[in-house]
A and B are shown apart, each in its own frame.
Chain A
Amino acid sequence: MAPKRRNSLLLYILVTLLLVFLTFLFSINLGSYHLSLLEVANTLVGHGSDNSILVLFEYRLPRILIALVGGAGIAVAGSLLQSYTGNHLADTGLLGLHAGASFGLIIFMSFFSQSFLYAEMLIPFFAFIGGILAAILIVYLAKSKNRTINTNKLILIGIAVSALFNAITLFLSLRLSDETYSFAASWLLGNIWARDWIHVSIILPWVAIFSLLAYRLAHPLNLLQVGDEFAQTTGISVKYIKNNALLLAVLLSSGSVAMVGNISFLGLLAPHLARQLVGSDYRLTLPLSAILGSIILLLSDTIGRSLFEANPIPAGIFVAFIGGPYFIFLLLKNNRSV
């Protein structure tokens, strides 16, 4: 890497971290209970009123942390999935991994949520089982006779499998109870429902550990970009790396969406923005897309709950509002270059 690019990289990381901080400030200030910056600062250093302590530490902070971590998890999962499929249009939501996770989540919510204290610790595992089921189904269906995967077909099959799992989830929840149904319906729209410290303590280590494992794949993923066969002869165990990438993508996305709801297109948007900024080196784009994913999700959640106080709009709707058109734009651009 040329030194010039390294400097600009440092700049990017500083700027994006600053953005995270600003989003954080913005988010922590807004909400149905208004806190001024000064009050926030006072409360954070331990001089707040009872009320502001309650709002900040019990309501806002955990929710903000969950949005940040969940956004990062989905974004990294998106990057991994894109290299697994070799298609920059792949998104964990669009390809049905989220729908699979929701299936696991509903099973948990209906049968296990009250089974013992801290049962919520099990959420990511249930979501993961659902997610991996969806992933296996999609990969199986998309494989053609000669064992290659047509990536456009993969996306289309992902969309259909996603519809299937969503229908199953809604159907199951409808059969169980009205509360489960409305939970499932709002989850599908991308509602950050997890708001407590217990959820933070589950999602944070989950995303942190698997993101670090993902980072170990960064350099092999770089080489995969030149095509499977070529990568193989430059010393990459293509199958091993790809399977690992898919597994980590499922782990990260299902763990994250179990907490933050069905956020589609984020796994597409964040890695794309990252690539636009720093090029195609995964060693740089993986961390950068994590940061961007955090910012986008936190911003969407903050806008949704503060701009529309009476009826807060789920974060997923905002992300889709930007992500949908962006996806179409990329699809048409790709079509041209083919």
Chain B
Amino acid sequence: MFRVSANTIEVKYDKKIILKDLLLHIPDKSISTIIGPNGCGKSTLLKALTKILPYSKGQILLDGQALNSYKTKELAKKMALLPQSQITPAQITVRELVAYGRYPHQGNFGILSSQDREIIDWAISKTKLNDVENATVDSLSGGQRQRVWIALALAQQTDIIYLDEPTTYLDLAHQLELMKFLKQLNEEENRTIVMVLHDLNLAARFSDYMISMNSGQIIKAGTVEEVMTTTNLKHVFQIDAVISKDPYTGKPICLSYNTSL
């Protein structure tokens, strides 16, 4: 099942073509990760899929309907995005920020209904932020802060969640914690999760579907075993990778690598 698909789309940024003839289907209710070298168009793809950047050719479909025919608010009920970097409004509390996620479901002045409050409570407890819900976001640690933004996306109550390099700025333990949380979200609530990741091994460990990109095109998309191969990584990153099996998970991992000659 595919709810999101891109059919030979082209995306330009300041007249420069970033994505060209790109074909993509995102499997429903699974975790997909996009990998690729710097500047290959990963973030641009994510922005195109979330209608932040317009596409000039082709079509992106969401539930069989063209993406650019959706109203912004309607779209925000179907998909949420956690961008790479966020701005924290001064002195805002965790609860207030999470409440922003209810915007697409609200009227003009943002008055919260009791249902809204329940959903906010749920998002806060899901992300284990109960203890700090009235603290200001500024005062939190990096890992906690990342969870606040995820709670905001959860409060949007969308089936699809996009994340742009969510593990940046997090240490190893917090990275793992975040990924496990996303996995749980996917398994327990059937959310479709699509993210851009830099860490190949993290991607391989948690993904159901991997999309490898280079120069604005998809090189290979498929299961982890199909994408994490020496030949494919050579195509994508120009590296000679040593692929082995993760002793904990049985998934492929990249043990070491060298510049491809």
Chains A, B in direct contact (C-beta < 8 Å): yes
B71, B110, B162: the one within 8 Å of A219 (CB): B110
Given A146-B13, A232-B52, A234-B101, answer yes or no on A2-B83 (Cβ-Cβ < 8 Å): no
Given A229-B81, A230-B86, answer yes or no on A279-B91 (Cβ-Cβ < 8 Å): yes
Taking residues whose C-beta sits less than 8 angstroms from the other chain, chain B's interface range is: 35 or more
Q: 0/1 per residue, B57-92, Cβ < 8 Å to A?
A: 000000000000001110111011111011111111
The answer to whether A233 and B134 have CB atoms under 8 Å apart is: no
CA distance A218 to B109 in the complex (A): 7
B14 at the interface (CB under 8 A from A): yes
Q: 0/1 per residue, A207-246, Cβ < 8 Å to B?
A: 0000000001011101101110110111111000000000
Enumerate chain B residues within 8 angstroms of A223, measured Cβ to Cβ: 100, 103
B28 at the interface (CB under 8 A from A): no
A147, A218, A234: the one within 8 Å of B156 (CB): A234
Enumerate chain A residues within 8 angstroms of B91, measured Cβ to Cβ: 275, 279-280
8 Å CB interface, B4-21 against A: 13-14
Given A230-B86, A235-B73, A275-B90, answer yes or no on A283-B104 (Cβ-Cβ < 8 Å): no
Give the residue name and chain of the B residue nearest to A220 (CB): B103
Given A146-B13, A233-B50, A233-B76, answer yes or no on A280-B90 (Cβ-Cβ < 8 Å): yes
Given A2-B134, A280-B90, A280-B91, answer yes or no on A233-B103 (Cβ-Cβ < 8 Å): no
A2, A216, A219: the one within 8 Å of B95 (CB): A2
B83, B109, B134: the one within 8 Å of A230 (CB): B83
CA distance A2 to B100 in the complex (A): 15
A117 at the interface (CB under 8 A from B): no
CA distance A86 to B51 in the complex (A): 21
Enumerate chain A residues within 8 angstroms of B92, measured Cβ to Cβ: 225, 279-281
> What is the size, in residues, of chain A's interface with B at 8 Å between Cβ atoms?
28
Question: What is the minimal beta-carbon distance from B139 to any residue of chain A, in angstroms?
Answer: 14
Enumerate chain B residues within 8 angstroms of A235, measured Cβ to Cβ: 72-73, 75-77, 103-104
Give the residue name and chain of the A residue nearest to B85 (CB): A227
Give the residue name and chain of the B residue nearest to A86 (CB): B87
8 Å CB interface, A137-161 against B: 145-147
The answer to whether B104 and A227 have CB atoms under 8 Å apart is: no
A338 at the interface (CB under 8 A from B): no
A1 at the interface (CB under 8 A from B): yes
The answer to whether B109 and A283 have CB atoms under 8 Å apart is: yes
Question: What is the minimal beta-carbon distance from B85 to any residue of chain A, in angstroms?
Answer: 8
B47 at the interface (CB under 8 A from A): yes
Give the residue name and chain of the B residue nearest to A88 (CB): B90
Among A147, A225, A233, A283, max chain B CB count under 10 A is at A233
Give the residue name and chain of the A residue nearest to B80 (CB): A233
Enumerate chain A residues within 8 angstroms of B75, measured Cβ to Cβ: 233, 235
Question: What is the minimal beta-carbon distance from B63 to any residue of chain A, in angstroms?
Answer: 17
CA distance A220 to B104 in the complex (A): 10
8 Å CB interface, B153-180 against A: 156, 162
CA distance A109 to B72 in the complex (A): 45
The answer to whether A229 and B77 have CB atoms under 8 Å apart is: no
The answer to whether A219 and B103 have CB atoms under 8 Å apart is: yes
Enumerate chain B residues within 8 angstroms of A86, measured Cβ to Cβ: 87
CA distance A92 to B88 in the complex (A): 24
The answer to whether B80 and A227 have CB atoms under 8 Å apart is: no
Q: Apart from A218-B110, A236-B72, what 13 extra A-B contacts exist at CB < 8 Å?
A: A2-B134, A225-B87, A226-B87, A226-B100, A229-B81, A229-B83, A230-B81, A230-B86, A233-B76, A233-B162, A234-B104, A235-B77, A237-B71
**Pairs of residues from A and B, 4 with the lowest C-beta to C-beta distance, nearest first:** A235-B76, A235-B104, A219-B110, A233-B81
Q: Which residues of B contact A (CB under 8 A)?
A: 13-14, 47, 50-52, 71-73, 75-77, 79-83, 85-93, 95-97, 100-101, 103-104, 106, 108-110, 134, 152, 156, 162
